[in-house]
Amino acid sequence: MMTPLLHVYQFSLGFGLVLGLAGPAMGQGLDPVPGAAAQAEAKKLVSEVYADLLAARTDEDRAAAARALIMRAGESDNVPAAKYIMYDTARSLAVEAGDTEAAMDAINGLMDSFKDDSGGFLGVASASLQVLSRKARNDTQYAAVARSGLAVAERMIAAQRLADAVDLLTRLRNAALRSRRPELTSMYKEMLDQLKTIQNEARQIAGDLKEIEQNPDDPALNLSVGKYLALYRGDWQAGLAMLAKSSDEAIAAAAKADLAGAGSAKAQIAAGDQWWALASKHSKLEAQRLKDRARHWYRAALPEASGIKRSLLTKRLEPAGQVKWGDLVLEPGIRTWIEVDGDTTNMRPGPIAQVAEWEFEKKPKGTKNKIKLHFEGYLYFPQIAEVGLTAFGFASNVSVEINGKFAVRGYGKSEAPVSLIKGYNAIRGFIFVGVKDIDNPNMLPKSSISLTDLDGNTIKIPAEQWFHDVTK
């Protein structure tokens, strides 16, 4: 079943998503981690009160127990030691059950409730994800681990633990690959490349970081250190004042305008435009950071902007061709991937299809008996409707689910009534094709999905109404 993501992450490295591991800034208002004696006493109490949950023996029961403990740990009247033990016990149960989302919810609970000056929770998160990666058995589970790894790596970057982030991403890169989500694999590669670039830049300016303490007004040093902080680390709060004192006139002017603030949409757009104009003159990572800062001002200006200026801001804030729907970020097309000879470990990304119609002209390399083309996407429909779904397969088997419910399966032409919601309808399925059919010039396999109204008339579905989820 294809379900919308419950958590979508935003990385300061420019991946354009929303960070799901946010907690109180710099540990403000958090409790200290309870001492060993308090933990031991709380563990006895939790073991007695929740003996039924802790007795879980199956993975399904362990996952359910973990979620129950997470929910109860969040109750406001829990003492810190009990809350700590409940979250940590839930994490342990979830890891044992192979439930990545529950494990990360428990770790989030720890991070959002207790101070972590030593970074111990990040180490626990890293170790948990490595175990979960080994327990994963399908692409959905691998994807959950890979996404969580990116979020934990972001936490590590914020804590200035770049080497730990590189190590974690390197260890989980195989999970991203086995998720069969090309977008995740690409994000891992890009994030690792950027982290290594940041590490290299840190080594190059190590001397400047020490020297600026003695010469805080030196323009060249302010440019070097300010660029590192703002354009590599993404720490604009620390880097902006330095950039304003830097030897680069254009950057200094943009930084001064930024620091001065802007109260009107016109001034906010002007502040953003200065950063945006600079992006074309810098390296890829630096350009991303400059555009990120421009978008900071564009978002502030958007509510009051109008006309073509509003259209320009919208274009710069949203990547071309993407739309947002709830927690999903969608692009036109239907995502496909190919399973060869029934081997789920031998799966490869397919093309992003623009219509729900497939022709098989040649077999994938290495195929001996059969291929299974998986597809999934979101079909936009303007209104609630009762329609007929037709799945057609010539020399192929077709199976389709709509909004998580089985709709139709068959060889040849199969039809069934289905209900569509207003907006984006989740559609997924697969097509089986035998190699002997592909090799037969008189039997070229074809498959398609189509809709009909209550009178039996075909409902045309333009290609631009199909979308695939790029947050996967």
Q: Which tens digits make up the pLDDT trace of 50-106?
A: 998 899 889 999 999 999 999 888 875 778 999 999 999 999 999 999 999 899 999
The last residue of one of the domains, among 172, 202, 232, is 202
Q: Give the mean pLDDT of 376-385.
A: 87
- Flag whether the pTM goes above 0.75: no
Same domain, 52 and 173: yes
- How many beta carbons lie within 10 A of that of residue 342, not counting itself? 11
Residues with Cβ within 8 Å of 136's Cβ and at least 6 positions away in sequence, in order, are 98, 100, 142, 144, 145, 175, 178
The last residue of one of the domains, among 185, 202, 219, is 202
Angle of the 120-135 helix axis to the 100-113 helix axis, nearest 10: 180
pLDDT digits 0-9 by tens, 7-43: 222 233 333 222 223 333 444 568 899 999 999 999 9
In a domain, 6, yes or no: no
Q: Which domain holds residue 378?
A: 329-469
pLDDT digits 0-9 by tens, 235-269: 899 999 999 999 999 999 999 999 999 889 999 99
Q: At 112, phi and psi to the nearest 5?
A: -85, -5
Both tokens of 285, joined, read 């990572």
**C-alpha–C-alpha distance, residues 183 and 347, integer Å:** 15
What is the distance of C-alpha 438 from the center of its chain?
Answer: 37
CATH number at residue 415: 2.60.120.1560
**C-alpha–C-alpha distance, residues 59 and 260, integer Å:** 56
- Whether 172 and 151 have beta carbons less than 8 Å apart is answered as no
Same domain, 92 and 231: no
**C-alpha–C-alpha distance, residues 388 and 97, integer Å:** 40
Q: At 38, phi and psi to the nearest 5?
A: -65, -40
In a domain, 11, yes or no: no
In a domain, 98, yes or no: yes
Q: What percent of the chain has pLDDT over 90?
A: 46
Same domain, 391 and 439: yes
pLDDT at 184: 83
Report how far apart, in Å, the C-alpha atoms of 439 and of each of 187, 363, 445 are: 37, 8, 10
**C-alpha–C-alpha distance, residues 122 and 92, integer Å:** 15
pLDDT at 227: 95
Same domain, 374 and 309: no
Q: At 334, phi and psi to the nearest 5?
A: -115, 125
In a domain, 9, yes or no: no
Q: What sign for the dihedral angle of Cα 372, 378, 381, 383? A: positive
Same domain, 291 and 361: no
Confidence band, pLDDT 50/70/90 cuts, at residue 441: low
Backbone torsion region of residue 175, taken as left when φ is above 0, otherwise alpha when ψ lies between -120 and 50, otherwise beta = alpha
Neighbour-count burial of 246, counting CB atoms closer than 10 A to its CB (0-12 exposed, 13-18 middle, 19+ buried):
buried
Same domain, 70 and 171: yes
In a domain, 190, yes or no: yes
Same domain, 112 and 219: no
In a domain, 72, yes or no: yes
Same domain, 275 and 233: yes
In a domain, 223, yes or no: yes
Same domain, 296 and 388: no
CATH number at residue 122: 1.25.40
Same domain, 197 and 52: yes
Backbone torsion region of residue 28, taken as left when φ is above 0, otherwise alpha when ψ lies between -120 and 50, otherwise beta = beta
Same domain, 147 and 282: no
Q: Give the mean pLDDT of 406-415.
A: 85
Q: At 118, phi and psi to the nearest 5?
A: -90, -5
The last residue of one of the domains, among 173, 202, 231, is 202
What is the distance of C-alpha 22 from the center of its chain?
Answer: 14
Same domain, 48 and 188: yes
**C-alpha–C-alpha distance, residues 350 and 447, integer Å:** 16
Report how far apart, in Å, the C-alpha atoms of 109 and of each of 39, 59, 97 are: 16, 21, 18
Between 6 and 271, residue with greater pLDDT: 271
**C-alpha–C-alpha distance, residues 213 and 208, integer Å:** 9
Residues with Cβ within 8 Å of 436's Cβ and at least 6 positions away in sequence, in order, are none
pLDDT tops 80 at residue 453: yes
pLDDT tops 80 at residue 3: no
pLDDT digits 0-9 by tens, 180-239: 887 788 889 989 998 999 999 999 999 999 999 999 999 999 999 999 999 998 889 999
In a domain, 10, yes or no: no
Q: How many domains does the chain have?
A: 3
Strands 423-434 and 458-459: unpaired
Residues with Cβ within 8 Å of 81's Cβ and at least 6 positions away in sequence, in order, are 34, 38, 39, 41, 42
